[in-house]
């Protein structure tokens, strides 16, 4: 089997391509992030992903099915029981969660909140599932007046901690977030604590780019660990390093602006003389458009990413591959504001990649199996390496 010298994975966070067979168990029947947002906006124009075969995976208004794609294309089902960022990324990296993370539809326990208040010396407001923007409008003034934290959650296993940057310093917020993860592990286990600083006043509160994620360690070694142990580079772009709590990462290029910042940092990473893996997460699709149910914004973000595809592809060296995928769905046309249980797209490109239909993969982990076979020579179940070379 021919080997590659570097793989780049770009996760279009939440860009799902249709409901999974068990979507009813998650309340997500009919969800289809990319397909539905295209219908809602009169079609999307992503000519470079179209050439790779995106329109061959699912019906997308504005994206044609191509007879002779230039990449390999398919979709993957999630074997883990979940639809959150952590579960999705871990499975892409080869870890299948047999037991789903707990969620907190009624908020966190009294014991958990009291322990957090005692540890930080500040009171907590809200403590229930909430939209990340609505919660600021409803509790922002009170949080400023009382010098309190805003704690909220969602249908995901996450403890979100919001504070006004001008009233609670960032350093204090970040330290409190670390403490929250320790306390949650004792009382109400979560996958992540997210520090959510904001600014402004009622009617114009807005989250700042200074978000930080504090995650638990993956339960076992992932593809990232094995690549690192082989003496190769593992470059995380965006919040990738946070999602894996730094495990298996040799260099982190965090982003504190937007998708464009993440794209440009990925292109810069491609230009560097590294060997191994570049793993990028572009969070705006999910955070700014999926959760906020903004189909037009999502469409424009997809088109913006696609416009950078020629530069991304031209910076691939002779013996490299590019994988474009997602981690779950977050259908902006769907009810509520939560993630949706969907297939993810799998688009593969490289100068020596054979265009083909990869079909429907049983698990996101097939991506890890393929990259490990091509990069390290590790042959495991689910690899589609032989299909694309």
pLDDT of residue 33: 98
Range of the structural domain that residue 52 is part of: 6-97+219-388
Cα gap 303→312, rounded to integer Å: 14
Cα gap 223→368, rounded to integer Å: 6
**Pick from 215, 232, 248: which residue ends a domain?**
215
Whether 224 is covered by a domain: the verdict is: yes
212 is written with which tokens? 């930080």
Residues 80 and 225 in one domain: yes
What CATH number does the domain containing 144 carry?
3.30.70.1250
What CATH number does the domain containing 348 carry?
3.40.720.10
Whether 72 is covered by a domain: the verdict is: yes
pLDDT, tens digit (0-9, with 9 covering 90-100), for 35-50? 999 999 999 999 999 9
Provide the pLDDT confidence category of residue 1 given band limits of 50, 70 and 90. Answer: very low
pLDDT, tens digit (0-9, with 9 covering 90-100), for 321-352? 999 999 999 999 999 989 999 999 999 999 99
pLDDT of residue 3: 84
pLDDT, tens digit (0-9, with 9 covering 90-100), for 145-166? 999 999 999 888 999 999 999 9
Cα gap 218→225, rounded to integer Å: 10
Q: What's the whole-number average pLDDT of the chain?
A: 96
Provide the pLDDT confidence category of residue 2 given band limits of 50, 70 and 90. Answer: low
* Closest to 45 measured CA to CA, from 59, 58, 32, 62: 62
Residues 296 and 369 in one domain: yes
Whether 105 is covered by a domain: the verdict is: no
pLDDT, tens digit (0-9, with 9 covering 90-100), for 62-93? 999 999 999 999 999 999 999 999 999 999 99
**Pick from 163, 192, 215: which residue ends a domain?**
215
Residues 241 and 363 in one domain: yes
Over residues 117-127, the mean pLDDT reads: 98
The backbone torsions φ and ψ at residue 79, rounded to the nearest 5 degrees and listed phi first, read -80, -30
pLDDT of residue 257: 76
Per-residue DSSP letters for 150-213? EEEE-SSSEEEEEEETTTS-HHHHHHHHHHHHHHHHHHS--SEEEEEEEES-TTS-EE-S--EE
pLDDT of residue 80: 97
pLDDT, tens digit (0-9, with 9 covering 90-100), for 372-388? 999 999 999 999 999 99
What does pTM read for this prediction?
Answer: 0.93
**Pick from 164, 182, 215: which residue ends a domain?**
215
* Closest to 131 measured CA to CA, from 293, 340, 341: 293
pLDDT, tens digit (0-9, with 9 covering 90-100), for 250-298? 999 987 779 999 999 999 999 999 999 999 999 999 999 999 999 999 9
Q: Does 114 score more than 50 pLDDT?
A: yes
Provide the pLDDT confidence category of residue 209 given band limits of 50, 70 and 90. Answer: confident
Q: How many domains does the chain have?
A: 2
pLDDT of residue 221: 97
Question: Between 19 and 156, where is the model more confident?
Answer: 19
Beta-carbon contacts of residue 290 (< 8 Å; ≥ 6 apart):
13, 14, 33, 298, 329, 330, 331, 332, 339
The one-character DSSP state at 65 is -
């Amino acid at each position: 089997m021919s080997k590659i010298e570097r793989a780049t994975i770009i996760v279009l966070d939440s860009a799902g391509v249709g409901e999974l067979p068990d979507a009813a168990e998650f309340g997500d029947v009919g969800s289809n992030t990319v397909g539905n947002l295209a219908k809602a906006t009169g079609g999307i124009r992503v000519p470079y992903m179209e050439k790779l075969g995106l329109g061959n995976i699912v019906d997308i208004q504005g994206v044609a099915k191509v007879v002779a794609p230039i990449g390999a294309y398919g979709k993957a089902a999630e074997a883990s029981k979940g639809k959150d960022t952590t579960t999705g990324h871990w499975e892409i990296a080869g870890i299948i969660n047999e037991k789903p993370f707990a969620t907190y539809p009624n908020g966190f326990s009294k014991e958990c909140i009291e322990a957090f208040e005692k540890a930080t010396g500040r009171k907590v407001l809200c403590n229930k599932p909430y939209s990340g923007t609505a919660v600021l409008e409803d509790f922002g003034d009170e949080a400023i007046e009382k010098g309190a934290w805003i704690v909220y959650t969602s249908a995901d296993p996450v403890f979100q901690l919001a504070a006004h940057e001008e009233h609670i310093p960032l350093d204090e917020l970040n330290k409190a977030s670390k403490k929250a993860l320790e306390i949650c592990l004792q009382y109400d286990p979560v996958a992540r604590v997210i520090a959510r600083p904001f600014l402004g006043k009622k009617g114009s509160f807005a989250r700042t780019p200074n978000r930080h994620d504090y995650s638990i360690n993956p339960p076992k070694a992932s593809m990232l660990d094995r690549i690192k142990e082989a003496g190769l580079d593992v470059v995380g772009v965006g919040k990738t390093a946070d999602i894996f709590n730094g495990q298996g990462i040799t260099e982190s290029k965090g982003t504190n602006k937007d998708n464009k910042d993440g794209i440009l940092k990925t292109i810069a990473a491609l230009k560097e003389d590294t060997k191994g893996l570049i793993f990028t997460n572009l969070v705006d699709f999910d955070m700014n458009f999926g959760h906020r149910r903004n189909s037009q914004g999502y469409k424009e973000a997809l088109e913006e990413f696609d416009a950078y595809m020629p530069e991304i592809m031209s910076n691939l060296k002779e013996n490299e591959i590019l994988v474009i995928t997602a981690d779950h769905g977050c259908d902006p046309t769907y009810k509520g504001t939560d993630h949706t249980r969907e297939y993810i797209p799998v688009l593969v490109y490289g100068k020596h990649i054979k265009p083909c239909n990869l079909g429907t993969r049983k698990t996101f982990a097939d991506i890890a199996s393929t990259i490990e076979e091509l990069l390290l020579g590790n042959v495991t179940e689910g690899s589609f390496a032989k299909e694309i070379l």
